[in-house]
Structure 1
């Protein structure tokens, strides 16, 4: 009897969690990218293992941007052509991401064609470790989000909660601690931690001040505490701007003449 009740209760929580996830993924009104998207240049610039930060336009995005005090509310990792082409003829998936309510999924790059994005690239990451990071993320595909944990969803219904700054990061990590039940950057952080590549490690100094023998001891921060903006702030990830990488010549820009601009006013 208890088993049947337990299963019924589990189905009930899953159903409610599914509905909450749908509401959280509803788009916010009034979103507009602040810069025009250059999708083709973005495609030419990305390398496997690059972290793509996205300024989302969903209800959950507003909460994450507030809690992290950042433009970036979502992160995905570019895996190149390691995933097979779809038999349906649709665009090949080249991103792996973790979505609330879905878990770890693959997505085409065009999904974020019109969004504000930023490329963060791990500096001097070896080809072997880059492949391991990609394999780690691809190996997590299909990892599901347990919709029974509705409290992991409910906290995002308060877009601007009166939370002290020092607690905001902890609020994002609140819940089961499973990376599929946290925000997207948790699993990506685990991927880089698997090859011991630093993001924002806790650094402790060992030895007396002024001693040449002092050592910086790096401690791995728990993956659930990472947010999308950490890849932007990390001193070990470089921000790659596609327009500059592909060759930018300001002399070739066509400007509106001062006369024409004054007439428009």
Structure 2
């Protein structure tokens, strides 16, 4: 490995290194992994340095997109199953995704590696099982393609409102080379996979004379992860950590009702001017002793707050 390649790898590894998970989960990963099906796009709110850059560029929390291809037995073509095994040592029961990663290119990964990340499913509405298999096949055929860093930089220049250079000048976004690309980014690879079966993501719709309408495929090099979230042709499926589907279950959640609010786990405070209020929990009636205990606790909080305010204003304490 030459010096240039070694330095590039070191920079890539630094950019893709994940920061620690927040510890405050938003997604029920077990349910998501149970419900996901081949052909679904999974959006990830990444935690790496390059993810933060992509979020700023795209003005979206979604920094990464991957295609779920299922388990090995979900891939009908034996040759493509073999191609999967050549790129990863997957167990028969392992849930697999195909994604393009900076420093690694287009690879096969396991779904469980995103267990600690905020994720959601974008499901192509009405996509037939036959076409879902073809979309997966296109992604499998892309394995081994490099990651197109230049395209990422050109996309940043294109999305920013102002730039020193014209947006089209020497930009890879407007290349017209046909054939399977040797380098790609995550969203472009997915867009091309769905375009291979003429499934719309954000098509260009032209109204012509005589009331005719023509639909054109959009330039796949300009797609970002947020476009799958924005597309009206994909259903957004969320599996929140707290399931609210059973009526008024939110009334029974174990809220901390002493006035404490938090910026993040471990970073909590009581706001100035907080006035305790009893919450009427119809499904969990409190006893008189419980109400009396909460009232005494609330009075202590109020007294503490009044003393703090008087100290700030310089008034004498009682």
Q: Quote the residue 1:118 is aligned against.
A: 120
Instruction: State TM-score, norm by structure 2.
Output: 0.63
SS at match of 2:146: coil
- Cα distance in 1 for residues equivalent to 2:187 and 2:234: 14
Q: Quote the residue 2:265 is aligned against.
A: none
Q: Quote the residue 2:216 is aligned against.
A: 219
Instruction: State TM-score, norm by structure 1.
Output: 0.75
2:11 to 14, 17, 20: 20
Q: Quote the residue 2:193 is aligned against.
A: 191
1:13 Cα shift? 3.5
Q: Quote the residue 1:210 is aligned against.
A: none
Number of residue pairs the alignment of both structures matches = 239
| Residues 22, 175 of structure 1: alpha-carbon distance in 2 compared, 3 angstrom cutoff | farther
Q: Quote the residue 1:133 is aligned against.
A: 135
| Residues 249, 164 of structure 1: alpha-carbon distance in 2 compared, 3 angstrom cutoff | same
- Cα distance in 2 for residues equivalent to 1:119 and 1:102: 24
More relative contact order in 1 or in 2 (CA 8 Å, sep 6+)? Answer: 1
Larger radius of gyration: 2
- Cα distance in 2 for residues equivalent to 1:194 and 1:174: 24
- Cα distance in 1 for residues equivalent to 2:236 and 2:33: 16
1:60 to 50, 54, 65: 50
Q: Quote the residue 2:310 is aligned against.
A: none
Per-residue CA deviations over 1:164-219 (Å, capped at 9, x if unaligned) read 3377xx79x95587866443111011100000111111111111xxxxx4122111
Structure 1 vs Structure 2 CA RMSD? 3.7
- Cα distance in 1 for residues equivalent to 2:215 and 2:49: 36
SS at match of 1:75: strand
- Cα distance in 2 for residues equivalent to 1:35 and 1:242: 11
Q: Quote the residue 2:69 is aligned against.
A: 79
Q: Quote the residue 1:70 is aligned against.
A: 60
| Residues 125, 87 of structure 1: alpha-carbon distance in 2 compared, 3 angstrom cutoff | closer
1:255 to 238, 253, 256: 253
| Residues 117, 235 of structure 1: alpha-carbon distance in 2 compared, 3 angstrom cutoff | same
- Cα distance in 1 for residues equivalent to 2:28 and 2:256: 26
2:239 to 229, 237, 242: 242
* Paired residues of 1:180 and 1:187 also in contact (CA < 8 A): no
- Cα distance in 2 for residues equivalent to 1:25 and 1:126: 35
